[in-house]
Every structure is written in structure tokens, then in C-alpha cells.
């Protein structure tokens, strides 16, 4: 009888808490309606109420994290349109931070990278439009345009007082995700640069490894993930699996059971245990961090360079009834150690910051790559 009595009390408490939560929610909805009504009645200028509601919806999503966002029907349709031959891009992966667009990574060989945009830059103006107050998708829309046309970006950069201006010409962005070559005088180090994780990256990557493995002089590899903004999770898993005999590669955790999974390596190391140095920087994000983090946790590679970006989440595009859509974070990545990548990134085993204003990846001025080469010859 006592147990039944206690259970009834717990049910009543739960019901009362739920009722209070609902009442609080209804009060907030009433408050929101009151604010809208006062704006409509007393604000100094006429306000487009539909646009105001879109901004409110987007504000809710952007309060969750830098990657969730709302797309109006017009914007959602544009994002889904095949832009081949009509629109060009700049070649940057971006996110939001404190209401400002932050560059996650400029992709090698694209107009943004060639103009000098760097990971970590904050874009404060696009053309003559202030970015503050705009959504991530609105900023993307402003940066898109006809191929061959130019856009001016004004950016703020860490440790530089004055804003920097870049005039960038749009073009069709076609990224060859994998490139490779021999990089030492002794012809004994295989270098593989991975610029993104697209649908065919694993096949291209494996083809490069097999070509190198035919060279009996090869004693180790440099895998360059700098300024790689990520891409497909499956590709990160497949490429990591090339170097591991067993063990966990990555896990994802979300509220839904379907979004909570673990991925493991299959037996077989494509390079038979040869040493690996992985290069990362602040532009290495998402799938790049999975690859670098898993190899670090398994002590399969030395990670060299700078701390990675810290984008450890998965987004899904969800269509809405009004014809618009929302980009929503549905799960987070976790490394084999159980650590989350979100906001902390992957810390290199050897910290080597890029040096000089004339620094360029994979050139004579690339002090990070030169350091990696010396590791093999020490």
C-alpha cells in the first residue's frame, strides 16, 4: 500500500511539472504575440511581418548552434537548384559565430583560397551588405552569383587591427579531392593531399596508396588534411579504415536511436604498418577531424600542425510544409577515446604553426610540411 501511495505521489508531481512546463510555454507564446503586436502598432517604420517571422524562426534555430538554420521557400528552392553553368561560388566552407559569418576553411585551388582568405576569418561585409543580423543561408545567397562576376568581402582577422578587403571572382567550383606525389630527395615519402571528402575520395585515395606501395623505396606517408572542411561521413570512415587493422573509428550520438551508431575498422592495413604523419590546421574540420582523431587515438599516426576547427556535428536538411527547409543538427561525432570534437577539435601531437606572410601549402615556404619530412629523416 505504501509503494502504491508513493507511486501516486510521483505521478502527481510529474503531471504537475509537465503542466507547469506547458503553462510556461503558453505564457511565452502569449508574450511573443504581445511583442509582435506592439511592433506592428508602435514601431517607427512599417515592418514586413512575414520577414519578421522568418527572422524569428531562424533566430530559434541559430540559438541552438552555428550550423542550424532556416531557409525560406525561395532560398530553399535556390539551394536545391543545379547551378552548373549559371552560378559560381568562392570555394569556402562557412559557419556562424556570434552573429557573424566565420570561415571554416577555404578550399585549395578555389577563388577564395587564391585571394588569401584564411580559416578563422570573420566575414563582416559581403559587397556593401553588413553580415551582422543576416542568417547563414542569406550570407551564402549573397556570395553566390553569375560565373565571372566579382564580389568584395571585408573580413576581420585575428591579430590584425584593420579590416581586410578581398575582391574575388566567382567561378564554378570543381574540387579534385585527392592529389599525390613523392616529396623527398630520397624518393621515399608518399604525400597524399585530401582536399575534401566527396563521393569518390576513398577510391582516389586508395588508388594513390596502391601506386605508392609498388615503389619499394617508400618508407612512410604524409597525409595532408589542412584546409579540408570535411564532407561525407562514410568517406572519412572508409579512408581511416585503410590504415587500421581493427578497433572503433568513430561513433555518432543523437536523440534518435537511428542516429546513435558505432563504426569499426575491418582487418587489413593497406600500407602494412608504415609510419604516417597527418597535417592539420584550423581549417581541418568535420570528416578531417574524424580521420586525424581516430589515427591519433589508435596511435597509428603522428598529428602535426595546428589545432583543428572543432566541427563535430551532423546536419540534416528537413523540408517544411511551406516549401522552405531547415538545416538541423541531429547528432554529434565522438572519437574512439570517447571525446567529442565539437568546439575543441583535434590537438596535434607536434604543434607547428605556419610561419611567414608568404606561407603557402605544399610549397618551399611550407614549414609544416618541411617539418614532417624531417621527422622521417631524423
What is the grid cell recorded at 247? 578497433
Active site residues: 286, 297, 311
What is the grid cell recorded at 160? 590584425
CA distance 346 to 224: 14
Helix, strand, coil share of the chain (percent; to 5)? 35, 25, 40
What is the grid cell recorded at 364? 618551399
SS3 309: coil
Return the pLDDT at 87. Answer: 53
SS3 205: helix
Return the pLDDT at 80. Answer: 63
Mean pLDDT by 10 residues, the chain (378 residues): 46 54 74 84 83 83 86 78 53 82 87 90 91 81 87 92 93 85 88 92 95 89 94 94 96 90 95 96 94 97 96 90 90 94 93 86 90 88
Return the pLDDT at 95. Answer: 83
**Under 8 Å CB-to-CB from 17, ≥6 apart: which residues?**
none
CATH 3.90.226.10 segments of the chain = 178-377
Return the pLDDT at 311. Answer: 92
CA distance 366 to 361: 6
Q: What does 226-286 look like in DSSP terms, one character per residue?
A: TT---B-HHHHHHHHHTT-SSSEEEEEE-SSGGG-EEEEPPS--TTTT--EEEEE-TT--T
Domain 73-169 has CATH 2.30.42.10: yes
State the CB neighbour count (10 A cutoff) for residue 275. 15
Q: Are 254 and 260 in contact (CB under 8 A)?
A: yes
Q: What are the C-alpha distances in Å from 194 to residues 113, 204, 256, 322?
A: 15, 10, 32, 39
Let me know if 232 is exposed, middle or buried by CB neighbors in 10 A (0-12, 13-18, 19+). middle
CA distance 368 to 338: 28
CA distance 313 to 342: 7
Q: Give the right CATH number for 178-377 from 3.40.640.10, 3.90.226.10, 1.10.630.10, 3.90.400.10.
A: 3.90.226.10
Residue with cell string 572542411: 229
Q: What does 314-340 look like in DSSP terms, one character per residue?
A: EEEEEE-TTS-EEEEEEEEEE-TTS-B
Return the pLDDT at 2. Answer: 46
CA distance 11 to 18: 10
Residue with cell string 566575414: 123
What is the grid cell recorded at 362? 605544399
Return the pLDDT at 12. Answer: 45
Amino acid at each position: 500500500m505504501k509503494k502504491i501511495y508513493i507511486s501516486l505521489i510521483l505521478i502527481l508531481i510529474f503531471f504537475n511539472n509537465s503542466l507547469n512546463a506547458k503553462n510556461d510555454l503558453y505564457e511565452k507564446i502569449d508574450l511573443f504575440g504581445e511583442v509582435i503586436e506592439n511592433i506592428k502598432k508602435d514601431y517607427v517604420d512599417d515592418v514586413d511581418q512575414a520577414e519578421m517571422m522568418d527572422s524569428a524562426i531562424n533566430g530559434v534555430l541559430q540559438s541552438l548552434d552555428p550550423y542550424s538554420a532556416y531557409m525560406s521557400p525561395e532560398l530553399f528552392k535556390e539551394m536545391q537548384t543545379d547551378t552548373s553553368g549559371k552560378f559560381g561560388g568562392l570555394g569556402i566552407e562557412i559557419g556562424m559565430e556570434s552573429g557573424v559569418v566565420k570561415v571554416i576553411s577555404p578550399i585549395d585551388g578555389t577563388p577564395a583560397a587564391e585571394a588569401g582568405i584564411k580559416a578563422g576569418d570573420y566575414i563582416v561585409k559581403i559587397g556593401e551588405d553588413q553580415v551582422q543580423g543576416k542568417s547563414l543561408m542569406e550570407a551564402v545567397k549573397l556570395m553566390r552569383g553569375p560565373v565571372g562576376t566579382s564580389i568584395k568581402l571585408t573580413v576581420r582577422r585575428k591579430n590584425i587591427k584593420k579590416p581586410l578587403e578581398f575582391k574575388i571572382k566567382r567561378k564554378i567550383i570543381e574540387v579534385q579531392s585527392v592529389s599525390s606525389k613523392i616529396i623527398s630527395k630520397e624518393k621515399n615519402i608518399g604525400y597524399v593531399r585530401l582536399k575534401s571528402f566527396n563521393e569518390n575520395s576513398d577510391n582516389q585515395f586508395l588508388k594513390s596508396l596502391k601506386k605508392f606501395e609498388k615503389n619499394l623505396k617508400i618508407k612512410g606517408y604524409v597525409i595532408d588534411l589542412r584546409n579540408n572542411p570535411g564532407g561525407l561521413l562514410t568517406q572519412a570512415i572508409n579512408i581511416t579504415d585503410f590504415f587500421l587493422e581493427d578497433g572503433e573509428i568513430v561513433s555518432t550520438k543523437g536523440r534518435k536511436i537511428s542516429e546513435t551508431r558505432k563504426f569499426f575498422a575491418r582487418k587489413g592495413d593497406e600500407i602494412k604498418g608504415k609510419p604516417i604523419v597527418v597535417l592539420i590546421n584550423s581549417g581541418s574540420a568535420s570528416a578531417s577531424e574524424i580521420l586525424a582523431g581516430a589515427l591519433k587515438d589508435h596511435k597509428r599516426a603522428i598529428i602535426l600542425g595546428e589545432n583543428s576547427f572543432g566541427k563535430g556535428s551532423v546536419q540534416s536538411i528537413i523540408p517544411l510544409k511551406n516549401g522552405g527547409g531547415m538545416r538541423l543538427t541531429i547528432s554529434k561525432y565522438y572519437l574512439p577515446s570517447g571525446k567529442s570534437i565539437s568546439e575543441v577539435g583535434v590537438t596535434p601531437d607536434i604543434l607547428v604553426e605556419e610561419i611567414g606572410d608568404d606561407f603557402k601549402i605544399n610549397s618551399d615556404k611550407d614549414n609544416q610540411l618541411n617539418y614532417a619530412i624531417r621527422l622521417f629523416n631524423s
